Amino acid sequence: MELTTEQVLALAPDAASASAGKKLANPRSWKSLGQSTEAVWGECQGSALYQVRVDVRDMTTRCSCPSRKFPCKHSIGLLLLATGTSEGLPQGAPPDWVEEWLGKRAVTAAKREERGTSRTKPTEADPVAQAKRADKRLSLVKAGLDTLDLWMNDLIRSGLASVETQSATFWEREAARMVDAQAPGIAARLRLIAGIPNATPDWPERLLAELGRLALLTHAFRRLDALDPAMQEDVRQLIGWSLKEDEVVARGEAVRAEWVVLGQWVEGEERLRTQRTWLISADGVRTALVLQFSAVGAPLPQMIVPGTCQQAELVYWPGAYPQRALLKERTGNPAPLAARLPGRVALDDALTGVAQALGRQPWLDRFPFVLADVIPVPHEGQWQIEDQTGARLPLTRGDHWRLLALSGGAPVDLAGEWNGTDLLPLGVVVDNAYHPLGDTYT
């Protein structure tokens, strides 16, 4: 186990789990403890005896407790114990209940692999019926977008000032109509737009800009045949033709490389949460975004630990500027990054990268930044970072004390997510050591 305490704590789903995990990170809470090259395990005495195991190759955890949080406090406690005590856990052969679980995982992985190869062509019963369904959806979407365009034109006609007094149902009604028209991507955009009015002093400008981008999207859809194939993929995905994972694997670009996990954060409300993880290839050439969704209580499909690097195969969703990817296969154990961040650039270069990306896919919203030698500057209400050329960008609202503590006024390498307005710091590298700057710490 080579992870740092911070990395383990960053895995916790919330601050409460992190602190509950810390309480369990003492040998007294455990009946048995052990580790092998593949796994760590332990039996934790809670209201019952819980069996906790972690596959260290992909940091997947499994606990017999009924907790709806994932990973649960027992798993966090076990990992802290494995990384935090001077002697580590006793080496040994895994007991049956660990061996069994590892075995099951291997079988599932093999099955998935098999399914992946044998189902390169989906076994669709009736290609004719399938084509018919596709046609039907296409005309539904077309009709839906027509009404959307009329609705937006009406908005401009009656004036954006009028929406100031509209309730949320005004937007929700239109969003629901887009769901009925089988254009869930448009519905999601409308729901985001609903949050703009009155949110900031410049909301009319932002509202007009976002409605404008939506208009560009429906415009592009009408001219779909004239677009190049990659752009067609983007437009279809943006409107709501989502791809299944095996479709992505079949059609997307696969990149096998050493990937460095730049950082991650979780967005979304209580019920459905989206974990956003940014990665960069060790040669600094490609970046990728892995999204994982979980309803409350359901585990994330995969544990991806910020600040680690691992040999893996990623497959990108097809598009003009591929950004989102799925983690198809990982080989070897994740190792902590013990070097500066690959692909780091100055602020101007990062912004130029944004311009180039938007030139290829104008609906992109967020971008990974890997910045070289920046200095955090605390400033009342709005922190900034400054690079070696003296250029500055604002950081996300709030305080960034850990970042400041780690930099000490000296330049550091910073990974973050840029949303066009400010930068959300996700991880920092100081003296070749990575420190996560995730939610658990703010």
Partner 1 sequence: MKAMLQTALAGSARQAMETTETGTPVDDLTAGLPEGEAERKLLLAAGAARVYLQAGKLAQSGGVRPDRAAEERLPVCSRQSAQLIETFLCGRHGYLLPEALERLARSGYRLPHTLLPRALSVVRPDVRSAIVAVLGERGRWLSQFNPQWHWVQGALMETADASLEDAERLWQDGTPGERRAAIRRVRMAQPDMARAWIAAVWRQEKADFRVELLNVFEHGLSHEDEPFLEATLDDRSANVRERAADLLAYLPDSALVVRMRARADLLLDYSPPPPQRLKNLMRSVFGGAEQSGTLTVQPPDQLDKAAQRDGIVPKPPEGLGERGWWLTQMLARVPPAHWERRFAAQPAQLVAAAARDEWGMAVIEGWSRAAALHRDGNWALALWERWSDIDKKTPHYHQVATSILGSLVALLPQTAAADIIRRPLSGGQDFQPHIWKLIFMSIARPWSADLAQAYIEKLKDQIRKDRSGVHQASIYWWCVPDVVACVLPPQYLREVQGLWTEEELRTRDWLHHFVETLHAREQIWKEIPL
Residues that bind partner 1 (CB under 8 A): 4-6, 19, 22-23, 25-26, 28, 80, 84-86, 149, 152-154, 156-162, 204-205, 208-216, 219, 347-348, 351, 354-355, 358-359, 362, 375, 377-378, 384, 386-387, 390-394, 399, 401-402, 404-406, 408-410, 420, 430, 435
Closest residue by Cα to residue 403 from 371, 431, 441, 367: 441
CB of 278 to partner 1, least distance (A): 19
- Least distance from C-beta 338 to partner 1, angstroms? 15
What secondary structure letter does DSSP report for 242? P
Residue number, 147 or 162, with CB nearest to partner 1: 162
Nearer to partner 1, 253 or 349 (CB): 349
CA distances from 205 to 170, 201, 210, 263, 362 (A): 19, 9, 9, 32, 18
Q: Which is nearer to partner 1, 301 or 362 (CB)?
A: 362
Cα–Cα–Cα angle for 64, 67, 72, rounded to 5 degrees: 80
Q: Give ∠ CA 73-76-78 in degrees, rounded to 5.
A: 110
248 vs 341 by CB, closer to partner 1: 341
Smallest gap from Cβ 279 to partner 1, in A, equals: 23
- 266 CB contacts (<8 Å, ≥6 apart)? 13, 273, 274, 275, 276, 439
> What's 161's DSSP letter?
G
> CB neighbours (10 Å) of residue 373?
16
Largest CA-CA distance found in the chain, in angstroms, rounded = 73
Residue (114 or 399) nearer to partner 1, CB: 399
Query: What is the nearest approach in angstroms of partner 1 to the Cβ of residue 351?
Result: 6
* 395 neighbors 359 (Cβ within 8 angstroms): no
Query: Is the separation of the CB atoms in 399 and 369 below 8 Å?
Result: no
Coil, helix or strand for 431? coil
Least distance in angstroms from the C-beta of 102 to partner 1: 28
Of the pair 40, 347, the CB lying nearest partner 1 is at 347
- Residue closer to partner 1 by CB (options 84, 299) is 84
- Residue 342 half-sphere exposure toward CB, CA atoms < 13 A: 20
The least CB distance from residue 432 to partner 1, in Å, is 14
- Residue 401 C-beta: closest distance to partner 1, Å: 4
Nearest approach, Cβ of residue 39 and partner 1 (Å) = 22
Select 228 or 431, whichever has its Cβ closest to partner 1: 431
Burial degree of 439 (CB within 10 A; 0-12, 13-18, 19+): middle
